Structure 1
Amino acid sequence: MMEKFTTVAFDADDTLWHNERFFRLTQDRFATLLADFAEPDHLDERLLEAERRNVGRYGFGIKGFMLSMIETAIEVTEDRVPARVIREIIATGQDMLAHPIELLPHALDTVSSLAGRYRILLVTKGDLLDQERKLAQSGLGDLFDGVEIVSQKTPAVYAAIFERHGVRAEGAIMVGNSMKSDVVPAIEAGGWGVYVPHGLTWALEHADAPEGHPRFREIPDLGALPPLIAALER
């Protein structure tokens, strides 16, 4: 590296704290509620179709997921879904919105160790109120120099974020568990993309890794990030 990094940006859900596993648990509960109307695999397919249709309408997050579950329930029951099932779906969404935050391993130590030496940003998708709640409960909020809650993560969005914070793209690293949202578009915007695999990844976040790209790296967990940055700066 000819120049030092100035900025490290982190995704939030399933990078800093658990998220997808709560969606999976809720989806299992949804399957139980509709067991008399659809097989679990078929129901999962119909729900994913609804989520794919609706992400442009409702955005990412729990509220959109809840509306997609309601829509799917109406469809698979041919408009005969009992009111109690709708009530239960709403209750599951409310439970998700109230669930306490659970940090992933090394999240606090890694962000703390990099803060002060680099500009630290949070760049996340999702519902504004819910993401603000999770950040406040995480205990990480004071470590970030900037927080960006966006509806989509595209190269243009990353470029605008870098410009807004006075960041050179080539001096910025985006760290996250989604190849589609965190890694590929950040690289296409001129930055670095560091992939941190998570055991559970939403189907709509899958994408091919940019293997061989000079600004792409993969690490096993967040604990490996500070040594990686140090090695890149040598």
Structure 2
Amino acid sequence: MHKNIKVIAFDADDTLWVNETYFREAELAFAKLLAKYETANTIDQELFKTEIRNLELYGYGIKGFVLSMIECALELSNYKINPKVIQDILEIGKQMLNKPIELLDGVEEVLQNLQPNYKIILATKGDLLDQERKLEKSNLAQYFHHIEVMTDKKAADYQKLIKHLDIDSSQFLMIGNSLKSDVLPVLEIGASAIHVPFHTTWIHEEVSESDTSDKNFHTVLNIKEVLPFF
């Protein structure tokens, strides 16, 4: 089905290894720390608002998430938060950064099968140092010809990547868990995409059914199911 493809790009977080689960755990821990000031639901909502407000400044990743938690804690406590709570928030972030890498089922098998016939690259967004650390811990670096840590994943960002790879957009295929970041902007520039859903998605990455209703892409339940397409 993808005879013209020369480059296959993989998203990293929640496509190759577990990531979003740790953010959900951190949000629950944060809500407990702030329980004397607000309900868990309100804390969750206010943290999300703070994260979105700060995306342009901090970008994606754990470090920006920690800064947003601190800012949110200060605001919800009317700037009366105990410094010990700030320390606890920093500790949440450090624990996230030190999480072991849990590869998703079938990832290495897929990379092993595709590498001999395609140029395989990693195209992910987030903090550069953190993503490099996770890739090293994953022991998957050997499969990738090129590593691209992107500040965002919009159509223009993919255009820049494809230009850098010196290929036509029709020769590029993206595999990832996010419809918003890994599928729709790729289709917009005339490239191909395969969606591999993860069981939890950050609300900022969610899209409506109408956004995908007329789009031509494949969805598989497990990353191993991409192999018959090649």
1:5 maps to a residue whose letter is I
User: How far, CA to CA, are the matches of 1:100 and 1:192 in structure 2?
Assistant: 32
1:212 to 208, 211, 214: 214
Please give the secondary structure, in 2, of the residue aligned with 1:120. strand
Which residue identity does 2:47 align to in structure 1? L
Give ranges in structure 2 of 5+ residues lacking alignment. none
Query: Which digits, 9 at most, give the CA deviation of each residue in 1:8-44, with x for residues without a partner?
Result: 1000000000000011111111111111111100000
Percent sequence identity is: 39
1:100-126 CA-to-partner distances (Å, cap 9, x unmatched) read 111011111111111111110100000
**Distance in 1 between residues matched to 2:2 and 2:133, nearest whole Å:** 39
Which residues of 2 match residues 126-145 of structure 1 at below 5 A? Answer: 126-145=126-145
The Cα offsets for residues 137-163 of structure 1, whole Å up to 9 and x where unpaired, read as 111101001110011111111111112
Q: Offset at 1:213? A: 2.4
Residue deviations 1:150-201, cap 9 Å, x none?
A: 1111111111111211222112110111111110011112111211111111
Match of 1:224? 225
TM-score with structure 1 length normalisation? 0.94
Mapped to 1, the partners of 2:212 and 2:9 lie a distance apart of: 19
Aligned-CA RMSD value: 1.2
1:211 is displaced (CA, Å) by: 2.7
1:3 CA displacement: 4.4
Paired residues, what number? 228
